[in-house]
């Protein structure tokens, strides 16, 4: 019997606020002339900021979790950390993309509304305590994303990317749903914590086959959303085809949400079978590392290269899961956050160089950038070295933590496979630096910077943050550790 408890609404306050604000912006935008679109822009940013503040204010204490609506919705440490960074990266997407959209006549209210709804979906997804909430949040996110990818209706390549994304994404959602139904069949509940408690994972359990099949479908669905090989086929096309502003979003914020979903499903519900799924994830990790790093070398299109680089980073992320312990998940979350912050810089740089009628998405478009604008060449170099995992940049320490998780789990071979592919991956990041620093520019003139000052400042701060966080990454790591109650023994 489901009971409605009005106090539960307070637990949901940030989400409710964002929903209300989004609806209000939807209405306000209807009455705005295209020239007044900046109002939508700033309102959306304010909505995100206030939501972020509410999330931060209501953050639960260490190890504590507040459940609402009979456990459908959870507010715990992981949800808080992920929401803060989801909101932050979405805010960066807004800040970076205004000029880009305007030059392409895509500066429309839909962009903001779809992104806000997607953000709401991500917030639900990372807070989900029930298979239904997982699915609800996921669909809100992905349906908005399909539409966003197709935002540039006149572009054939965008439409192609959107259709691929939609067809494959729908397939993945279907698989996920199928897996959920099997698990429901085996356990009779949709609640993640109850599944964990009720499901009989022992070898002679009558439901074992059903649970195992359900688990496989969950893993496949999650791998699809994360973009882990061999379920990565959609990723390069979507990254390349979507407007860069949307790629930025798909490559950063939604990856954080996908991490949250994977963690909730695999550890939250199926933690009892972690001996099984860590093996599956180890295979996915090795494949992703191989496919991502090797294919990225052959790319000449920077967005496509970054897509393959994402796949390889997902491989690293999965190393954290293989540990199957709180430390490992904390390391993986730390990794995902670092990746999201690095990806925003890389895609932000593409938008910085882009002009009306010029996408700046080929690696050669960065030729001689150091001579045209040393500052932004430096920002991009920081992002590339960070993605490659060279200390003292942030990306290195993220790699350190997941490698440590894998080694602690006794999976030394996995760590060695990972570093071998990291060396291969080094090449294509260095190539971007090489093009910027060692090649002569095609156009000798100083880089014409976009007029949007907030974009330039935010991008610079974002780039420098990778350096600063490389020196002072302790607090962020502590936050991730606290969220997962590392070192605190709490019976689940």
Q: Which of 94, 263, 385, 394 binds another protein (CB under 8 A)?
A: 385
| Tokens 């599944």 -> residue | 195
CA distance 443 to 453: 23
Q: How far is the CB of 473 from another protein (least distance, A)?
A: 7
Please list every residue from 104 through 133 that binds another protein, using CB under 8 A. Answer: none
Query: How far is the CA of 238 from the CAs of 150, 157, 168, 184, 466, in angstroms?
Result: 10, 9, 11, 33, 26
Q: How far apart are CA 280 and CA 276, in angstroms?
A: 7
- The least distance separating another protein from the CB of residue 158, rounded to whole angstroms, comes to 35
Window 465 to 484, contacts with another protein (CB under 8 A): 473-474, 477-478, 481
**Residue 304-323 contact track with another protein, rule CB under 8 A, x = bound:** --------------------
Residues 338-377 that bind another protein (CB under 8 A): 370-371, 374
Q: What distance in Å separates the CA atoms of residue 308 and residue 323, rounded to the nearest whole number?
A: 24
Beta bridge partners of 198: none
Q: Which is nearer to another protein, 26 or 400 (CB)?
A: 400
Which of 288, 197, 65 has the alpha carbon at shortest distance from 296? 288
# chain residues binding another protein, by CB under 8 A: 32
At its nearest, how many Å lie between another protein and the CB of residue 299? 17
In the block, tokens 């950390």 appear at 81
- Look up residue 403 and give its two tokens: 């490698």
DSSP codes, 378-447: HHHHHHHHHHHT-TTSHHHHHHHHHHHHHHHTT-HHHHHHHHHHHHHHHHHHHHHHHHHHHSPPSS-SPP
Q: How far is the CB of 407 from another protein (least distance, A)?
A: 5
DSSP-derived secondary structure letter, 61: P
| Smallest distance from another protein to CB 86, Å | 23
The CB-of-451 to another protein minimum distance in angstroms stands at 24
Distances in whole angstroms, Cα of residue 427 to Cα of each of 383, 400, 432:
14, 19, 9
Cβ distance to another protein smaller for residue 215 or 422: 422
Say how far apart CA 219 and CA 267 lie, in whole Å.
Answer: 11
User: Min. distance of Cβ 61 from another protein in angstroms?
Assistant: 19
Cα-Cα-Cα-Cα dihedral sign, residues 474, 228, 135, 186 = negative
Of 41 and 372, CB closest to another protein? 372
The alpha helices in 302-391, defined as continuous H runs, are: 302-322, 326-353, 369-372, 374-388
Judged by CB, which is closer to another protein: 33, or 444? 444
Q: Which of 251, 309, 320, 255 shows the shortest CA–CA distance to 285?
A: 320
Question: Of the two residues 73 and 396, which places its CB atom closer to another protein in the complex?
Answer: 396
Question: Minimum Å distance from CB 74 to another protein?
Answer: 24
Least Cβ distance, residue 368 to another protein (angstroms): 11
- Secondary structure of residue 74 in the 3-state scheme: strand
Smallest distance from another protein to CB 440, Å: 11
> For another protein, which residue of 16, 65, 108, 430 counts as binding (CB under 8 A)?
430
Cα angle, residue 420 at apex, residues 260 and 312 outer, rounded to 5°? 30
3-state secondary structure at position 124? helix
Q: Give CA–CA dist 420/319, Å, rounded.
A: 14
Is residue 194 near another protein by the rule CB under 8 A? Answer: no
Binding to another protein, residues 436-465 (CB under 8 A)? 437-438
CB 261 within 8 A of CB 225: yes
Per CB under 8 A, the list member of 427, 443, 448, 490 interacting with another protein is: 427
Binding pattern to another protein, positions 386-425, x when CB under 8 A? ----xxx---x---x--xx--xx---x--xx--x--xx--
Q: Comparing C-alpha atoms, which of 429, 348, 358, 356 is closest to residue 387?
A: 429
Residues of this chain that bind another protein (CB under 8 A): 370-371, 374, 385, 390-392, 396, 400, 403-404, 407-408, 412, 415-416, 419, 422-423, 426-427, 430, 433-434, 437-438, 473-474, 477-478, 481, 486
């Amino acid at each position: 019997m489901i009971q409605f408890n009005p106090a539960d609404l307070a637990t949901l306050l940030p989400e409710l606020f964002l929903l209300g604000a989004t609806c209000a912006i939807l209405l306000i935008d209807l009455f705005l002339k295209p020239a007044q679109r900046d109002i939508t822009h700033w309102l959306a940013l304010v909505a995100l900021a206030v939501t972020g503040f509410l999330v931060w204010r209501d953050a639960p204490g260490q190890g504590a979790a507040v459940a609402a609506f009979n456990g459908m919705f959870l507010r715990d440490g992981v949800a808080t950390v992920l929401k803060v960074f989801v909101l932050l990266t979405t805010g960066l997407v807004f800040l970076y993309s205004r000029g880009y959209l305007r030059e392409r006549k895509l500066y429309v209210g839909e962009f903001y509304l779809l992104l806000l709804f997607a953000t709401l979906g991500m917030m639900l997804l990372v807070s989900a305590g029930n298979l239904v909430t997982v699915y609800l949040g996921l669909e809100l996110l992905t349906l908005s994303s399909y539409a966003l990818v197709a935002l540039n209706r006149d572009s054939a390549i965008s439409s192609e990317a959107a259709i691929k994304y939609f067809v494959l994404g729908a397939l993945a959602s279907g698989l996920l749903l199928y897996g959920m139904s099997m698990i429901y069949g085996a356990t009779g509940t949709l609640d993640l914590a109850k599944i964990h408690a009720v499901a009989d994972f022992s070898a002679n359990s009558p439901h074992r086959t059903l649970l195992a099949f359900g688990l496989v479908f969950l893993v496949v669905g999650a791998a699809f959303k994360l973009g882990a090989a061999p379920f990565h086929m959609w990723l390069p096309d979507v990254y390349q085809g979507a407007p860069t502003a949307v790629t930025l979003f798909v490559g950063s914020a939604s990856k954080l949400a996908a991490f949250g979903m994977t963690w909730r499903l695999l550890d939250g519900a199926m933690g009892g079978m972690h001996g099984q799924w860590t093996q599956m994830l180890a295979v996915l990790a090795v494949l992703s590392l191989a496919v991502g790093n090797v294919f990225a070398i052959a790319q000449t299109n920077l967005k496509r290269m970054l897509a393959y680089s994402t796949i390889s980073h997902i491989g690293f992320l999965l190393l954290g899961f293989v540990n199957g312990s709180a430390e490992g998940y904390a390391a993986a979350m730390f990794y995902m956050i670092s990746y999201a912050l690095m990806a925003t810089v890389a895609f932000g740089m593409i938008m910085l160089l882009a002009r009306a009628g010029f996408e700046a998405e080929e690696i050669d478009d960065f030729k001689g950038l150091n001579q045209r604008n040393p500052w932004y060449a430096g920002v991009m170099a920081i992002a590339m070295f960070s993605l490659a995992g060279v200390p003292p940049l942030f990306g290195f320490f993220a790699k350190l933590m997941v490698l440590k998780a894998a080694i602690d789990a006794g999976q030394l071979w996995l760590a060695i496979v990972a570093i071998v592919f990291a060396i291969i991956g080094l090449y294509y990041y260095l190539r971007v630096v090489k093009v910027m620093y060692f090649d002569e520019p095609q156009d000798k003139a100083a880089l014409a910077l976009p007029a949007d000052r907030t974009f330039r400042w935010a991008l610079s701060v974002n780039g420098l943050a990778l350096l600063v966080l490389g020196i002072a990454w302790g607090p962020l790591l502590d936050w991730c550790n606290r969220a997962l109650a590392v070192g605190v023994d709490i019976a689940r």
